[in-house]
Amino acid sequence: MNNNNQSQGATVQLRPAFALYHANNQGAGSALKMEMIPAHADREGCVMLKIANQATIGDRKGKAPVYPTFDWANALVVKLGFSDLCAFLQVFRGECESIENGKGLYHTSSAGVTKISLRHSVDVGGYSLVINRTLASGGELSAKFFFSHSEALGIDEAFRGIMSFVCFGIPSVYSGYAKAAESVKKGHGDAAA
């Protein structure tokens, strides 16, 4: 979903994206970014989800605070399609405690096998998202993100709102439809003509 924003003669391409940052003083935090890509022509829509582990702790004291940073260069990225998003919604809505009864979702590619787990953590009060990737080359990568209950509510609402775009894309007005509608407005007959 690209929106053009004209500003001082320049065209800026915007794509819906959202980010949450959870740094901590131990350096074990993480950040999450999500980008919705609508269906288009013969391509299914999805949400690209990226989790980066915290790289530096930072120091927010003093006149020149240094903010924590995240390792976006080594972030784990997964593509969440329709079925994946439905599994997330089931957990966020309380229909189940975890995706596939704790088994998670598996995505296989030439790079390796990725397991995506989302679990309601009653004892901590939120939702734990863990991505583990076993690389075809033999290594393993892992990243996790914790959603508070209020963040999970917001993500649930966001996913609800984008499901039609993921499934069907963004409707566009076709010139034939616009001409037929204009003809009907002017009283020149039937829109099908």
CA distance 70 to 29: 9
Q: Quote the domain boundaries for residue 149.
A: 3-185
Has residue 9 got a pLDDT over 70? no
Residue 36 domain-assigned (yes or no): yes
pLDDT at 26: 94
Report if residue 73 sits inside a domain: yes
- Provide DSSP, 32-92: EEEEEE--BTTB--EEEEEEEEEEE--B--SSS-B--EE-GGG-EEEEE-HHHHHHHHHHH
Vertex 1, ends 108 and 30: CA angle to 5°? 55
- Both tokens of 42, joined, read 């013969």
Q: What CATH number has the domain bearing residue 131?
A: 2.30.31.10
Look at residue 189 in the predicted model and tell me its pLDDT: 52
In a domain, 77, yes or no: yes
pTM value? Answer: 0.79
Is residue 80 situated within a structural domain?
yes
pLDDT in tens, 59-85: 888 888 899 999 999 999 999 999 999
Asked, for residue 28, whether it belongs to a domain, the answer is: yes
Is 192 within a domain? no
> Quick check: is 8 in a domain?
yes
Number of domains in the chain: 1
CA angle 168, 174, 178 (to 5 degrees): 130
Cα–Cα dist 159/48, whole Å: 12
Domain assignment present for 78: yes
Give yes or no for a contact between 1 and 38, defined as CB atoms under 8 angstroms apart.
Answer: yes
